């Protein structure tokens, strides 16, 4: 499995500047090889990781699940 390390702050800033979603970018990375995407903070500490699936259908399932969990988390914060 290929490991890809990403500085989270710069990554999300770039997505905002490019007006694109991380899911759109992830879909472009699907090439039949499983990849672990590791998000790091500015001190190189792991914030979270994501195993990029081998196909777009699984990516869409992951996106929906992430959206649901994120929405649930936001609703409990309010």
What is this structure's pTM? Answer: 0.81
The 8-class DSSP code of residue 53 comes to: -
Question: What confidence score (pLDDT) does residue 44 get?
Answer: 94
Question: What confidence score (pLDDT) does residue 71 get?
Answer: 77
CA–CA dist 10, 47 (Å, integer) = 13
Q: Give the CA-trace dihedral at 19, 32, 1, 8, to 10 degrees.
A: 0
Q: Is the pLDDT of residue 74 over 80?
A: no
CA angle at residue 46 from 8 to 1, to 5 degrees? 95
pLDDT digits (tens, 9 = 90+) for 3-56: 999 999 999 999 999 999 999 999 999 998 989 999 999 999 999 999 999 999
Beta partners for 3?
A: 36
Q: Is the pLDDT of residue 67 over 90?
A: no
Read off φ and ψ for residue 48, nearest 5 degrees: -165, 165
């Amino acid at each position: 499995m290929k490991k890809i390390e990403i500085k989270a702050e710069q990554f999300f800033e770039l997505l905002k500047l490019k007006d694109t979603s991380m899911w759109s970018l992830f879909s472009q990375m699907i090439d039949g090889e499983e990849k672990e995407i590791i998000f790091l903070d500015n001190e190189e500490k792991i914030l979270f990781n994501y195993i990029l699936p081998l196909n777009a259908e699984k990516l869409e399932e992951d996106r929906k699940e992430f959206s649901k969990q994120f929405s649930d988390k936001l609703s409990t914060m309010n």
